[in-house]
Amino acid sequence: MSTTIALGQPTVGDAELAAIAEVFKSGWIAGNGPTSRKFEAAFAAATQADYALATSNCTTALHLAFHCLGAGKGDEVLVADYTFPATGHAVMYTGAEPVFVDVLPGTATIDPAAVEAAITDKTVGIAAVDYAGQSADLSTLEQIASKHGLWLVEDAAPAAGAQHAGRSAGSFGDAGCFSFHGRKGITSGEGGALTTKHADLDAKARKLHAFGIESALDRAESTDLPVPEFDELGFNYKLSDIAAAIMTVQLERMPTLIADRTKVADRYNAALAGNELVTIPQTAEGNVHTWQAYTLTLDPTIDRGALAQQLRSQGVQCNIGTYASHLQPLYGFKQTCPVSADLFKRHFTIPMHANLTDDEVQRVIDTLTTALPQARR
Ligand SMILES: *Cc1c(COP(=O)(O)O)cnc(C)c1O
């Protein structure tokens, strides 16, 4: 049998290894050190944000954002239903309640009209999600947030490098949260970042991500012996400087990695646009997609499980899109989001990463186009 074509794969190599060697030599491999500072400055510049804070992952960045924006018991946060459940979890960590809002069928991002309809006197903020590497309609959401006095957080976990209306993911609303997990477009295995335009939010999150005290780097650079005081219940949400070193290289490579993924997406789109058994992913006007994942919507006549079995037996990995949060038992089945529920059933992701060869892309296309008619119910 031919080799397996992975659904996702990191693109890491000699340049990242050299950066790791450097940080080893520097002696500072823990978090919140000189290499993290350097990465944060580069990431803020790349996302057109005023501030960036490196975090252990996106979920901790989301928790910090919601916490620092004041979410707590008795509050409702409007959350895009179609997402990896980290978004809802992070709202719950603060004691606030996630209220799941349906998404648009084309982009699978939160429906601004449904957001407005879901606002109550308990609503404090909106958490939008950039599904599969494409921004939500953030410009419209900013207007809604400001009209109703709500904050807006962008869960940009898969969307480093994405653009919406001429602006970068991470520059919208009150905060942007990114993931550098191995399945994302740029990665250090695990990792994340919190971007913001607010100096006070950055300062608060920065303090709380390191136990609630001033940074060890500032103390190390001092000539006297500063003894920090613990006056706030902080967390340990730091990114190690080893990971920050990897991320500094990944960020430099980001334009090339996105271009490589875009080439794959263009070939899939060209080959599958005319196939009546699938709908190709839609990129909204004014968006630059980063293609963290490539998601087809299957015709209702297709048995997704049978299709997956066909592909997997031929070494082509595949998966669902993501989760309909309102259908997860943890959240108590309080809302209905029919579009999200439908995408949860019919979305189908096929291999997408920057290492795919032309031959592999062709093999995915051929395997899929042969298997589709056979997987009809
Ligand atoms: C991957 C992902 C997360 C979780 O990111 P971690 O870095 O693993 O915490 C959160 N939200 C979305 C939309 C994601 O795709």
For 27-66, write each residue's pLDDT tens digit: 999 999 999 999 999 999 999 999 999 999 999 999 999 9
Contact criterion met (CB below 8 Å) for 3 and 315: yes
Query: E strands, the chain, where?
Result: 51-55, 76-80, 97-101, 123-129, 151-155, 163-164, 167-168, 175-179, 192-196, 278-279, 287-288, 294-298, 347-350
Distance CA 104, CA 339 (A): 7
Distance from chain centroid for Cα 354: 17
Residue 219: its pLDDT value, please?
Answer: 85
pTM of the model: 0.98
Q: 366 CA distance to ligand 1 centroid (A)? A: 31
Q: 1 CA distance to ligand 1 centroid (A)? A: 33
Q: 266 CA distance to ligand 1 centroid (A)? A: 25
Q: Indicate the Cα dihedral angle 322, 328, 333, 337, nearest 10°.
A: 10
Q: Amino acid identity, residue 31?
A: G
DSSP secondary structure string, 160-205? TT-EETTEETTSSSSEEEEE--TTSSS-SSS-EEEEES-HHHHHHH
Q: 375 CA distance to ligand 1 centroid (A)? A: 31
Q: Is 20 exposed, middle or buried (0-12, 13-18, 19+ CB in 10 A)?
A: middle
Residue 167: its pLDDT value, please?
Answer: 98
Q: 301 CA distance to ligand 1 centroid (A)? A: 31
β-pairing verdict for 76-80 and 123-129: parallel
List the structure tokens of 353.
């990463």
Q: 322 CA distance to ligand 1 centroid (A)? A: 11
Q: What is the pLDDT of residues 86-129, one digit of tens each?
A: 999 999 999 999 999 999 999 999 999 999 999 999 999 999 99
> Which mutation among 179, 180, 194, 347 tests ligand 1's pocket best, with the greatest number of atoms within 8 A of CB?
179
Atom of ligand 1 lying closest to residue 184 CA: 1
Backbone angles phi, psi at 323, to 5 degrees: -105, 145
Give helix 14-26 / helix 34-46 axis angle, nearest 10°. 140
Distance CA 313, CA 327 (A): 29
> Which mutation among 7, 59, 82, 180 tests ligand 1's pocket best, with the greatest number of atoms within 8 A of CB?
59
Give the per-residue SS3 of 237-300: CECEHHHHHHHHHHHHHHHHHHHHHHHHHHHHHHHHCCCCCEECCCCCCCEECCCCCEEEEECC
Residue 247: its pLDDT value, please?
Answer: 98
Residue 216: its pLDDT value, please?
Answer: 85
Residue ranges lining ligand 1, Cβ < 6 Å: 57-59, 83-84, 86-87, 129, 155, 157-158, 179, 181, 192
Atom of ligand 1 lying closest to residue 183 CA: 1
Residue 212: its pLDDT value, please?
Answer: 96
pLDDT tens digits, the chain, 377 residues: what are they? 579 999 999 999 999 999 999 999 999 999 999 999 999 999 999 999 999 999 999 999 999 999 999 999 999 999 999 999 999 999 999 999 999 999 999 999 999 999 999 999 999 999 999 999 999 999 999 999 999 999 999 999 999 999 999 999 999 999 999 999 999 999 999 999 999 999 999 999 999 999 999 888 888 888 889 899 999 999 999 999 999 999 999 999 999 999 999 999 999 999 999 999 999 999 999 999 999 999 999 999 999 999 999 999 999 999 999 999 999 999 999 999 999 999 999 999 999 999 999 999 999 999 999 999 999 99
Distance from chain centroid for Cα 39: 18
Q: Amino acid identity, residue 291?
A: W
